């Protein structure tokens, strides 16, 4: 069974993510804060848009932080999308310092406002960017391999900085700055980009994720 639990914590594009997974072959999709269903899910997805602190507050108020950590400890797949990816890290500094879920050591910091040539960089980074996927290593899932050299849709002002460079599995270049686009370690992965908004390529990624569980 391809049962996927999509975390609903009041922040994000839940409906579009749910529809995308339905299209990509998920057998059943659960949303909300029903922890009994989470226990029997095959995979956990954390979507989200907005500020790091607001997202973590939403998870805390819903009582989801410890259940997410417990689910990850089972070895079942965990996937974070956009803000959901950022919250997988230890700390975010958007509008203050906030503790993250902490499944991947690292922090989330602003995209540098100044380019190497001294000119102002446009923030946020919005639009289609070509990915440089590191298609080798134990942390790189096969369902991300098709992204190398292809473009996906992103919109964000803060960037992930994992402590371990081996946890970076894809990047993109934004006005001369390398930005982390995907991270992962063991069964936990995250994408800064929106696969549900990235056309056929994004749906292929989600289909590959569903088929892998």
**Residue tagged active-site, from 18, 94, 107, 196:** 196
196 part of the active site? yes
Contact predicate 88/101, CB 8 Å: yes
- Active-site choice (156, 167, 189, 194): 194
Q: Is 125 exposed, middle or buried (0-12, 13-18, 19+ CB in 10 A)?
A: buried
61, two tokens: 């108020």
Which tokens sit at 9?
A: 């914590």
- Any residues with CB less than 8 A from the CB of 200 and at least 6 apart, and which? none
| Active-site option among 24, 82, 94, 189 | 82
What residues form DSSP beta bridges with 89?
104
Q: In what order do the strands lie in the sheet with 78-81?
A: 28-32, 3-7, 43-46, 78-81, 188-191, 177-185, 168-174, 125-133, 151-156
Shortest CA distance to 183 belongs to which of 87, 94, 42, 44? 87
Which residues are annotated as catalytic?
82, 194, 196
């Amino acid at each position: 069974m391809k049962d996927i639990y999509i975390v609903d914590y009041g922040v994000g594009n839940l409906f579009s993510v749910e529809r995308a997974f339905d299209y990509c072959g998920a057998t059943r999709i659960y949303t909300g804060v029903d922890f009994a269903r989470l226990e029997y899910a095959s995979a956990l997805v954390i979507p989200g848009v907005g500020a790091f602190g607001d997202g973590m507050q939403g998870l805390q108020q819903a009582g989801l932080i410890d259940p997410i950590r417990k689910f990850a400890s089972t070895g079942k797949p965990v996937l974070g999308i956009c803000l959901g990816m950022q919250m997988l890290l230890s700390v975010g500094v958007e509008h203050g310092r906030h503790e993250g879920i902490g499944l991947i050591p690292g922090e989330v910091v602003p995209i540098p406002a100044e380019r190497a040539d001294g000119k102002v960089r446009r923030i946020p980074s919005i639009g289609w960017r070509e990915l440089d996927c590191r298609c080798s290593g134990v942390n790189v899932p096969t369902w991300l391999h098709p992204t190398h050299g292809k473009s996906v849709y992103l919109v964000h002002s803060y960037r992930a900085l994992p402590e371990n460079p081996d946890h970076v599995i894809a990047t993109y270049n934004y006005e001369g700055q390398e930005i982390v686009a995907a991270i992962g370690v063991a069964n936990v992965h995250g994408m800064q980009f929106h696969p549900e908004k990235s056309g056929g390529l994004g749906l292929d990624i989600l289909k590959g994720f569903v088929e892998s569980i």
